[in-house]
Amino acid sequence: MTNQATSPPTTAETTAETTADLWSSIDALWTWLEENRPIDGDQGGLLLRILKLSEEVGEVAQAVIGATGQNPRKGVTHTWDDVQGELCDVVITALVALRTLTPDTREVFARHLARVTERSLGTAPAP
Ligand SMILES: [Mg+2]
């Protein structure tokens, strides 16, 4: 057992805390969206949240084009930090859409990640 007053958190403690923050933040964002849904009748907000995911993917492409200066008229308009931020937006938006589909977001994601990992690496990750 670590002494919380004098020892820095271990990597496992930091990872557990970050994971908890991730899922509680996704839940908080979903709750906020549910309380501020402008349109009723789109299957509980799911359709617009999936449409939002496409928008965020487009912003990743826009940032990569901007970071590499691919548009001669515009030049370099973004940084790779911008690309990182846009990729994070994609992940957040996807998890909020998943939360809209099921309250078991964390478990559904964990099972799927384990399946993908096992399929690709031939072994499930250690718990
Ligand atoms: Mg974005």
Q: What are the tens digits of pLDDT across the range 94-119?
A: 999 999 999 999 999 999 999 999 99
Tens-digit pLDDT profile for residues 47-84: 999 999 999 999 999 999 999 999 999 999 999 999 99
pTM over 0.75: yes
How far does the centroid of ligand 1 lie from the alpha carbon of residue 39, in Å?
Answer: 22
How far does the centroid of ligand 1 lie from the alpha carbon of residue 47, in Å?
Answer: 18
The 3-class SS string of the chain reads CCCCCCCCCCHHHHHHHHHHHHHHHHHHHHHHHHHCCCCCCCCCCHHHHHHHHHHHHHHHHHHHHHHHCCCCCCCCCCCHHHHHHHHHHHHHHHHHHHHHHCCCHHHHHHHHHHHHHHHHHCCCCCC
Length of the chain: 127
How far does the centroid of ligand 1 lie from the alpha carbon of residue 38, in Å?
Answer: 20
Residue with structure tokens 């991730």?
A: 22
How far does the centroid of ligand 1 lie from the alpha carbon of residue 57, in Å?
Answer: 8
